[in-house]
A and B are shown apart, each in its own frame.
Chain A
Amino acid sequence: MLKRVHFGPSALPYLLVLPQILVTVIFFMWPASQALYQSLLVEDPFGLSSKFVWFENFEDLFADPLYWGSFQRTFFFSFLVASLSMGSALLLAVMADRVVKGSGLYRTLLIWPYAVAPAAAGALWFFMFNPTLGILPYILQFMGYDWNHKVNGNEAMALVIFAAAWKQIAYNFLFFLAGLHSIPKSLIEAAAIDGAGPARRFVSIVFPLLSPTTFFLLVINVVYAFFETFGIVDAITSGGPANSTQILVYKVYNDGFVGLDLGGSAAQSVILMGIVIGLTVIQFKFVEKKVSYND
């Protein structure tokens, strides 16, 4: 027989979760449902006349090659931003972990960029790479390269990827460093005694043991690249030239707030909402179970 503990019915737990529920309903559920409703309408900007059109906005989107282009671009962008920022952060963390003297200073300096607002980071890169005024195009010219990201879409894409990745390195660095600290020293020492060099120790021991951190950061970085890079794109390229840096979240803004096409923009944000939900599910499924090093 199982021993069961019974609690009498009480309103208290409901009362205690009520504030959280209210916040969620007012700030998340309600706007989300508004977006859902709006995505089924064709409306003039002032809201004076509106027509219910079912899924026409979505049909328009999926029939639009530019929207698919933006989709592809976003995946490409996110993949590169995530791998670039995580790769360099891991390298820096491993190096910083080995520093004995003045490690506090190194770490502080490496964390700095995280405190820079995206728009400010964008402005910084905008000026460094400005084809006419910037210092880097000036230097590149001596090497015989004519940098102009206002015409060349690939250069523009490279620039926003660098800026977005740079911004995220500090955050990744923090987590990797913490992850490295949690690896038992005894394992590494044992490997060293067995004759494994630093590279070998990293590949066989450190990296596998970091995998929960890595996976967590992967999800965070993809979400970051998808949704939080708006400020950087806006400040550096505004989505141009010729749409070459128009990622999904920028298109939502551009169609809704610049173009005043509220229905189309709402439909896009509903799709983005779907992507976030998908990413969250993945995170819960895998991260909560832990990408474990026991099995």
Chain B
Amino acid sequence: MSILKRIVAPATLAVLVGSTSIVSAATEINWWHAMGGTNGERVNKIADDFNKSQSDYKVVPTFKGNYTETMTSAIAAFRAKKQPHIVQVFEVGTATMMAAKGAVYPVEQLMKDAGERFDTNDFLPAVISYYQTPKGELLSMPFNSSTPVLWYNKDAFKKAGIAKVPATWGEMKDASDKLRGAGYKCGFSFGYQSWVMAENFSAWHNIPMGTEENGFAGLNTKFSFDNAAVKKHWNNLANWTKDGTFKYGGRRGDSLPLFISQECGMWMNSSAYYGSIKSQAKFEFGQSMLPYYKDVVAKPQNSIIGGATLWVLKGQKSDDYKGVAKFMTHLSSPEVQAWWHQGTGYVPITKAAYELSKSQGFYKTSPGTDTAIKQLSLNTPTPSSRGIRFGNFVQIRDVINEEMEAIWSGEKTADVGLADAVKRGDTLLRKFEKANN
């Protein structure tokens, strides 16, 4: 018995210690993200593949709820000094993150410090221009980027006798009339309305949304989207709610069922709905570029992105950041990006991933899936179309949403709602300026 104890116990102990030391040898890297459902599984696969490819680091992805919840929990964690290494933050949170200089480890700096190859020229300009500092430094790693496109029901178009996919708002109205004539309840609907009908509408027509280069040049920016073009457009939309040309179906993607159930023949929202529409629609569908007003611009400019980037937070052991950098390299590799792009409808963030998708014949087998990327890079971005950078924009987007809803319900006229949105937005901009000066 005593011999057994003497020999077996230390051996078991050694095995135990040995096994734990193997586990702890891999440094854990926490990645908080907001990708639920199928996209969440894809995120797990990206991490798994990285973990299998090497043994020094283990990336642990954690789903933290929607974009807002993820960002808020990361901030709360930072205040409690329990922050993750990497957090996924949506594009409207960019200004807030940028202002938090003491909390953020700029990704370009991180890659340099860790000795990983990194060249901003590898990325699509339309994607990274949204996230660069005025000096051109990239602060966060683009991950999932999309842009709004026009989704349309091909079967409905055939039934209504619409030969050409609408390219202008005049044609949108005509197509909607035909659709309604053919028995459809409404012409079109859209989601993420501030993003689609204010932010992208402005960029697409090359009109600034605010002063100081849409906020890129300074915190003292003021909103200017109460201009004639937006005013005319919102007035049109308000009138169109009356006859069913346009039907409002809620914020974010809440109006998707209107399109899926074939109530509305057209829908404007993120290209990243490709996966959902493909799995749910019982009809032939296509995607096309957003419509524009011929009398505002001769040719549309370029649309801007939405989606999220990965921010690296400060305050971890310096060794960990080597692993973070390695993971970033893996994440932005052409193979991972092409696979991600083709499954989700998000745009490929690097030129190499775009080329790879082309050579794999993806755009031939699934026509229209390159609409988003073509629309984003239609022209070289101008100061009005490279993106927006407004502080407190999470709240401001809510304000714009509220005012738009008040217009659709007829509670306010388009002119009043637009003026109120600008006024309330400016108040929040000033508040942000004050808190960050």
Contacts and interface: CB of A to CB of B under 8 A. Distances in A.
Interface of A: 42-49, 51, 130-133, 148, 150-153, 238, 240-243, 254-255, 257-261
Contacts of A259: 392, 394-395, 398
A153 B409 contact: yes
Nearest to A66: B424
A48 B435 CA distance: 10
Interface stretch (B150-158, B248-256, B343-351, B372-380): B248-256
B395 A240 contact: no
Given A46-B75, A240-B402, A257 B248 contact: no
Contacts of B401: 240
A46 B78 contact: yes
B100 A45 contact: yes
Interface of B: 68-69, 72, 75, 78-79, 96, 99-103, 241, 248-251, 254, 257-258, 261, 263, 392, 394-395, 398, 401-403, 405-406, 408-409, 411, 431, 434-436
B125 to A, nearest CB: 30
A260 B72 CA distance: 8
Contacts of B411: 153, 242
Main SS of the interface on chain A? loop
Task: State the 7 A-B residue pairs at the shortest beta-carbon distance, nearest first.
Answer: A259-B395, A242-B405, A241-B405, A242-B406, A132-B257, A150-B250, A46-B100
B422 to A, nearest CB: 15
B70 to A, nearest CB: 12
Nearest to A155: B409
B248 A151 contact: yes
Contact of B249 (A51, A132, A238): A132
Interface of B is mostly: helix
A48 B392 contact: no
Given A49-B436, A243-B402, A258 B248 contact: no
A269 to B, nearest CB: 16
A134 B401 CA distance: 24
Nearest to B75: A45
Given A132-B249, A151-B409, A48 B103 contact: yes
B100 A48 contact: yes
19 contacts: A42-B431, A42-B434, A43-B435, A44-B96, A46-B102, A48-B103, A130-B257, A131-B249, A132-B258, A150-B249, A150-B250, A150-B254, A238-B251, A240-B401, A240-B402, A241-B408, A257-B72, A259-B395, A260-B395
Given A132-B257, A242-B409, A45 B250 contact: no
B301 to A, nearest CB: 30
B68 A257 contact: yes
A241 B409 contact: yes
Contacts of A153: 409, 411
A47 B100 CA distance: 9
B79 A240 contact: no
Contacts of A243: 402
A152 B395 contact: no
Nearest to B409: A151
A258 B395 contact: yes
A133 B435 contact: no
A51 B435 contact: yes
Contacts of A257: 68-69, 72
